[in-house]
Amino acid sequence: MNPPALLQATGSKFQFTQPQVSNNYGPADWFPEDHPAMPEIVAHGKPGIVRACALCHLPSGRGRPENAPVLGLPADYIVQQLHDFQQDLRHSAEPRKANTGEMVSIAKNLTEDEIKEVAKYFSTVPKSKYIRVVETEMIPAMRIQGEIYFVAGDGKEEPIGTRIIETPEDAAQTRLRNPRSGFIAYVPVGSVRRGEELAKTGGSGRTTSCLICHGPELKGIGPIPNLAGRSPSYLVRQLYDMKLGTRQGALSALMKPVLANLTDGDFVDLVAYISSLDP
Ligand code: HEC
Ligand code: HEC
């Protein structure tokens, strides 16, 4: 048998095998220079109990569309969310979404000291832009693999409709979990402008301006999270979960009235705009 092939993410000085890239308890860290030293739980988890945070959220915490970008969030907000998961106040509205279920069990297996440590770590990783929003009528046909949309590559196209489709800029780099390789967000034509209007004005009373709580550039205020430039797939799932009440932590009550009168189309517009901003 040949030894496993050595792989290399673009721009990294390291090489890893595929099993090392996706090691549950110590996944490859292609760019240690992009983040402070990882706490033990982030880098390795607790073997057999908690998979490494870095496996799903990547060592920098930038995350992937099927989980969450956690870098650069306020430390107090991260602590609050981990407590909410622990107390079963935060679940996915889609019961088949198994990884949110795993996140709940991960939180339940963290000590208070570990929670403080990860919150401090992820809150200090520098943010950078990794979502490129493209307005379009038509998108390439997609296929879903590991909860991520990849271009099917059969040359076919389909109408975008009222959807946001987030897909890797470079499929091979995303498969290698290269955290510097970003995502394209295909969004409907006109959605960014409509979303901006709604986010800034509240749409003549249909909702509240998002800027009041999330800050003038949606970069967060105190324990209220930054939204700008984060994964649209992640953000829209949260709007559903908070509207439907499966996410109901202490602070989510502030979002409930904001979402009550908004439609799925409004969610698409808001998130198209928000994810197009600089983080
Ligand atoms: C199996 C993959 C996986 C692992 C491992 C994992 N998470 Fe998560 N995490 C998720 C998913 C999935 C979500 C929620 C996404 C959703 O509901 O749409 C999430 C959400 C979060 C959030 C909420 C972010 C926000 O903006 O509210 C925090 C904080 C978080 N994780 C921290 C951690 C920490 C700390 C660790 C390691 C101790 C960890 N996660 C390990 C998958 C994972
Ligand atoms: C009255 C204050 C307030 C207003 C107005 C508000 N938010 Fe929020 N938002 C919050 C708070 C507080 C949280 C944290 C909720 C929690 O901890 O569960 C939050 C969380 C979120 C999240 C989840 C972020 C994450 O990391 O999981 C999204 C997405 C969001 N808000 C979008 C919006 C949008 C879009 C608007 C405008 C239409 C808006 N918010 C208006 C207070 C507000």
Q: Is 184 within 8 Å of 200 (Cβ atoms)?
A: no
Residues 140 and 198 in one domain: yes
Ligand that lies nearest to the alpha carbon of residue 59, given by its number in the listed order: 1
Dihedral of CA 237/251/90/168: which sign?
Answer: positive
234 CB under 6 A from ligand 1?
yes
102 CB under 6 A from ligand 1?
yes
The residue from 124, 152, 176 where one domain ends is 124
Q: Determine the distance separating the centroid of ligand 2 and the alpha carbon of 198, expressed in angstroms.
A: 14
The number of residues in the chain equals 279
81 CB under 6 A from ligand 1?
yes
**Cα–Cα dist 198/167, whole Å:** 25
In a domain, 222, yes or no: yes
**Any idea what the CATH number is for the domain that residue 222 is in?**
1.10.760.10
In a domain, 3, yes or no: no
Residues 220 and 107 in one domain: no
100 CB under 6 A from ligand 2?
no
In degrees rounded to 5, what are phi and psi of residue 170? -145, 105
Amino acid identity at 200: K
41 CB under 6 A from ligand 1?
yes
Report the number of distinct structural domains present in the chain: 2
Q: Determine the distance separating the centroid of ligand 1 and the alpha carbon of 216, expressed in angstroms.
A: 27
Residues 82 and 158 in one domain: no
Ligand that lies nearest to the alpha carbon of residue 110, given by its number in the listed order: 1
Q: Which residue reads 């969030």 in tokens?
A: 73
Q: Is 239 within 8 Å of 259 (Cβ atoms)?
A: yes
Q: Determine the distance separating the centroid of ligand 1 and the alpha carbon of 193, expressed in angstroms.
A: 31
Which residue minimizes the CA distance to atom 31 of ligand 2?
255
Q: What is the pLDDT along the chain (279 residues), one digit of tens a residue?
A: 788 899 999 999 999 999 999 999 999 999 999 999 999 999 999 999 999 999 999 999 999 999 999 999 999 999 999 999 999 999 999 999 999 999 999 999 999 999 999 999 999 999 999 999 999 999 999 999 999 999 999 999 999 999 999 999 999 999 999 999 999 999 999 999 999 999 999 999 999 999 999 999 999 999 999 999 999 999 999 999 999 999 999 899 999 999 999 999 999 999 999 999 999
Residues 145 and 224 in one domain: yes
Residues 66 and 180 in one domain: no
In a domain, 6, yes or no: no
Residues 267 and 229 in one domain: yes
Residues 136 and 119 in one domain: no
Residues 142 and 259 in one domain: yes
**Cα Rg of the chain, angstroms:** 19
In a domain, 208, yes or no: yes
Ligand that lies nearest to the alpha carbon of residue 259, given by its number in the listed order: 2
Query: Per the structure block, which two tokens stand in for 151?
Result: 């271009």
Residues 214 and 183 in one domain: yes
- Ligand 1, from 64, 70, 109: best to mutate by most atoms within 8 Å of Cβ? 70
208 CB under 6 A from ligand 2?
yes
Residues 135 and 272 in one domain: yes
Q: What is the pLDDT of residue 2?
A: 81
In a domain, 52, yes or no: yes
Closest ligand 1 atom to residue 102 Cα is 1
**Cα–Cα dist 141/58, whole Å:** 27
Which residue minimizes the CA distance to atom 5 of ligand 2?
210
67 CB under 6 A from ligand 2?
no
Ligand that lies nearest to the alpha carbon of residue 87, given by its number in the listed order: 2
User: Range of 75's domain?
Assistant: 18-124
The residue from 71, 90, 124 where one domain ends is 124
Q: Determine the distance separating the centroid of ligand 1 and the alpha carbon of 75, expressed in angstroms.
A: 14
Determine if the pTM surpasses 0.85. yes
In a domain, 40, yes or no: yes
Residues 160 and 183 in one domain: yes
In a domain, 49, yes or no: yes
Q: Determine the distance separating the centroid of ligand 1 and the alpha carbon of 57, expressed in angstroms.
A: 7
Residues 148 and 255 in one domain: yes
Ligand that lies nearest to the alpha carbon of residue 202, given by its number in the listed order: 2
In a domain, 9, yes or no: no
Cα dihedral 240, 61, 49, 66, rounded to 10, equals: 40
Closest C-alpha among 78, 171, 89, 64 to residue 116: 78
The residue from 73, 89, 124 where one domain ends is 124
Under 8 Å CB-to-CB from 187, ≥6 apart: which residues? 133, 134, 135, 136, 160, 164, 232, 268, 272
Q: What is the pLDDT of residue 50?
A: 98
